[in-house]
């Protein structure tokens, strides 16, 4: 088988029924073994306790058998350890060592509040000797029962504290008269019996034995279960998984008289039935794929639900073939150009959609062809009108082209004159700019002259101040000269020379005053002339400024004329360009009109052909 089959087999193999049965048996045996081990351990511990109790009682009875009651009584009364006492001591110590006892002691309890020891076997932790006392509360009630009745007794298990878990045996010592004169006690430790380690070792060993005894039949059962149960079940599971995966080419080889054999036979019959229905379905599918929609299955071959499947397939084909045949019939009539055919059956679901779509498609085709027929008639009429209109348009377009050529020539002349005006305007603007520059330069020169006149006027004023100062000096000098002359006259002969000098100084002062007056007059006249010149300069400056303003206005007017001339030239150029474009378009319209006339004639002929084609359909 393929990898998928082997994987199915492996998965079923991992879940073998035999393994489950073996595991259940194993668990059951283990549980039973555990219960058996628990009870066995309980019986073992109970027997061990009984054995230890019997050992304690036997030891006390043995010791009582060789102790003389009368001698015991004498030793207890005298307190003297005689030879008999020493012999008894050796025997007691020997029995203690051999019997592995916890404690072995002989005592008398006739006292009110205590017991008195006869002897005790020597131990590691204590050793009572003849005459030693011990409280009554430290001893078990069973010992006092033995003393009162003379009967041998054994205690229950008790915890002695630091000495561990114990069981004790007691036997009475009697004198020759039969009275109880003492008691022999033997304490046996049960630590080994209640030791957890010892118990676990015992249980572990017991479990090992039980598990070994359990696993042997389990290992014997496993191959038997595999052969008798697991293998046939795995074959059935393998077959079922292959059928679930769509594979029917598998077989079951198992056969027997039990239930697994019946299961294998049923599985084989199931595979046969599935193969038969599969072959019929494949046969029907092949016929349908070949287009033979009339093929049907024999419904009497199969039983049960398989028969229902074959009936359902036949019914499905019947439901599919009926609308398909109706559709084929309609499409056949449409193929023969009969557009009045329709599907009239009563269908549901997708078949209803198929019916609606086919009917709608044929209806739309019919309506479209009717519209095409009407459009062909209108196209034929329109083609005649287009042909006539194209002829008229061609004549008008030729006349328009001739007019546009005349207009284009006139515009070229206007454009030439406009460009000449624009150039002259630009030259006038350049001359005005030159005049404005000259006026600006003259204005700057007059401004400099005005500044110079102002400087002269300022200098004249300063010079007038100096002349005035000189005039004041001359006046003072004249006064000094007069004073000097008066002093010289007063001095007489001695002052003649000084008087001459004073006279000269006076004359010099008078000439200086005259010169100062003349200079002041000249300066005043110069100042007045400077003011007049400054006023004239201001007037000239204003005149130049007015000229500049006028030139600027002229420049602006000429500039506007230049701009207007340029815009006019641009407009004329644009008009000329548009006229040329119109001329080109007009020429193209002439060609298009000729082409439209030819195309209209051709369209009229094609419309006639299309009308003949539509007339062949039954609408």
Instruction: Specify the long-range contacts of residues 358-365, CB closer than 8 Å, at least 24 apart.
Output: 358/327, 358/330, 358/331, 359/330, 362/330, 362/334, 365/334, 365/339
Q: Report pLDDT digits (tens) over 330-370.
A: 888 888 878 788 888 788 788 788 878 888 888 888 888 78
Q: Report pLDDT digits (tens) over 114-165.
A: 889 999 998 877 778 898 888 877 788 888 899 889 999 999 888 777 767 8
What does the pLDDT read at residue 229? 66
Angle, in degrees to the nearest 10, between helices 3-14 and 231-244: 140
DSSP-assigned beta bridge partners for residue 182: 173
Instruction: Specify the long-range contacts of residues 506-513, CB closer than 8 Å, at least 24 apart.
Output: 506/477, 506/478, 506/481, 506/482, 508/477, 509/474, 509/475, 509/477, 509/478, 509/481, 510/474, 510/478, 512/470, 512/471, 512/473, 512/474, 512/477, 513/471, 513/474, 513/475, 513/478
Torsional sign, CA 366, 372, 378, 384: negative
Per-residue pLDDT band at 196 (split at 50, 70, 90): very low
| Beta carbons within 8 Å of 601's beta carbon, 6+ residues apart | 383, 387
User: In terms of residues, how long is the chain?
Assistant: 619
DSSP code of 155? Answer: P
Token pair, residue 503, equals 């006279």
From the number of C-beta atoms within 10 Å of its C-beta (0-12, 13-18, 19+), residue 167 rates as: buried
Beta strands (DSSP E) in 448-593 are none
Q: Report pLDDT digits (tens) over 239-285.
A: 778 777 777 677 776 677 777 677 777 877 777 778 777 777 888 78
Average confidence score pLDDT of the chain: 77
Token pair, residue 290, equals 């070949």
d(CA 327, CA 335) in angstroms, rounded, equals 12
Q: Report pLDDT digits (tens) over 422-473.
A: 777 777 778 777 877 877 777 777 777 777 777 777 776 777 777 778 777 8
Per-residue pLDDT band at 218 (split at 50, 70, 90): low
Beta strands (DSSP E) in 86-159 are 103-108, 114-120, 133-135, 153-154, 158-159
Q: What is the pTM of this model?
A: 0.33
In angstroms, the Cα distances linking 559 to 265, 283, 553 are 122, 104, 9
Per-residue pLDDT band at 94 (split at 50, 70, 90): very high
Do the beta carbons of residue 136 and residue 113 sit within 8 Å? yes
Torsion on CA atoms 423, 426, 431, 434, rounded to nearest 10? -140
Which of 371, 339, 374, 375 shows the shortest CA–CA distance to 358?
A: 339
Residue 415 pLDDT exceeds 70: yes
What does the pLDDT read at residue 12? 45
Backbone angles phi, psi at 45, to 5 degrees: -70, -40
Which of these ranges, 39-43, 105-109, 244-248, 409-413, has the smallest mean pLDDT? Answer: 39-43
DSSP code of 161? Answer: G
Which of 280, 282, 318 shows the shortest CA–CA distance to 297?
A: 280
């Amino acid at each position: 088988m393929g990898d998928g089959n082997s994987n199915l087999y492996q998965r079923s193999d991992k879940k073998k029924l035999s393994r489950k049965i073996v595991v259940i048996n194993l668990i059951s045996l283990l549980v039973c073994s555990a219960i058996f081990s628990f009870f066995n351990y309980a019986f073992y511990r109970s027997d061990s306790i009984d054995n230890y109790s019997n050992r304690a009682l036997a030891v006390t009875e043995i010791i009582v058998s060789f102790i003389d009651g009368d001698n015991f009584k004498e030793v207890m009364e005298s307190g003297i350890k005689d030879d008999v006492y020493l012999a008894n001591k050796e025997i007691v110590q020997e029995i203690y060592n051999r019997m592995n006892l916890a404690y072995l002691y002989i005592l008398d309890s006739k006292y009110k509040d205590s017991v008195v020891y006869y002897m005790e076997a020597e131990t590691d932790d204590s050793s009572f000797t003849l005459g030693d006392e011990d409280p009554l509360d430290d001893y078990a009630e069973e010992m006092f029962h033995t003393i009162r009745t003379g009967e041998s007794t054994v205690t229950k298990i008790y915890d002695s504290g630091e000495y561990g878990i114990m069981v004790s045996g007691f036997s009475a010592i009697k004198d020759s008269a039969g009275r109880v004169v003492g008691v022999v006690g033997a304490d046996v430790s049960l630590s080994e019996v209640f030791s957890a380690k010892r118990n676990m070792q015992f249980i572990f060993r017991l479990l090992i034995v039980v598990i070994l005894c359990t696993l042997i039949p389990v290992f014997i059962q496993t191959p038997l279960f595999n052969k008798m149960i697991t293998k046939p079940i795995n074959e059935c599971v393998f077959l079922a998984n292959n059928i679930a995966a769509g594979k029917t080419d598998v077989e079951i080889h198992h056969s027997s008289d039990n239930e697994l054999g019946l299961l294998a036979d049923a599985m084989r019959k199931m595979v046969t039935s599935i193969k038969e229905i599969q072959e019929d379905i494949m046969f029907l599918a092949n016929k349908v794929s070949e287009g033979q929609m009339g093929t049907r299955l024999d419904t009497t071959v199969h039983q049960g639900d398989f028969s229902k499947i074959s009936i359902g397939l036949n019914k499905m084909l019947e439901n599919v073939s009926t609308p398909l045949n109706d559709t084929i019939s309609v499409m056949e009539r449409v193929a023969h150009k009969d557009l009045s055919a329709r599907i009239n059956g009563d269908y549901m679901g997708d078949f209803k959609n198929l019916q609606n779509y086919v009917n709608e498609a044929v209806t739309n085709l019919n309506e479209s062809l009717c519209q095409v027929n009407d459009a062909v008639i209108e196209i034929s009429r329109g083609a005649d009108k287009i042909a006539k209109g194209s002829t008229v348009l061609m004549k008008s377009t030729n006349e328009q082209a001739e007019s546009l050529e005349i207009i284009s020539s006139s515009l070229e002349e206007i454009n030439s004159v406009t460009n000449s005006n624009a150039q002259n305007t630009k030259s006038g603007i350049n001359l005005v700019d030159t005049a404005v520059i000259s006026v600006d330069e003259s204005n700057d020169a007059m401004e400099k002259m005005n500044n110079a006149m102002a400087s002269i006027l300022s200098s004249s004023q300063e010079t007038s101040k100096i002349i005035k100062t000189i005039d004041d000096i001359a006046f003072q000098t004249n006064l000094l000269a007069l004073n000097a002359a008066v002093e010289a006259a007063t001095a007489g002969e001695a002052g003649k020379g000084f008087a001459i000098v004073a006279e000269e100084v006076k004359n010099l002062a008078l000439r200086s005053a005259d010169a100062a007056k003349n200079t002041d007059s000249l300066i005043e006249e110069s100042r007045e002339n400077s003011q007049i010149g400054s006023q004239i300069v201001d007037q000239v400056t204003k005149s130049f400024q007015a000229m500049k303003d006028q030139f600027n206005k002229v420049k602006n007017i000429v500039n506007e004329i230049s701009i207007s001339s340029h815009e006019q030239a641009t407009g004329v150029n644009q008009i000329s360009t548009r006229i040329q474009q119109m001329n080109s378009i007009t020429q193209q319209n002439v060609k298009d009109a000729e082409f439209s006339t030819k195309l209209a004639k051709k369209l009229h002929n094609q419309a006639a052909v299309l009308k003949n084609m539509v007339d062949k359909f039954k609408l």
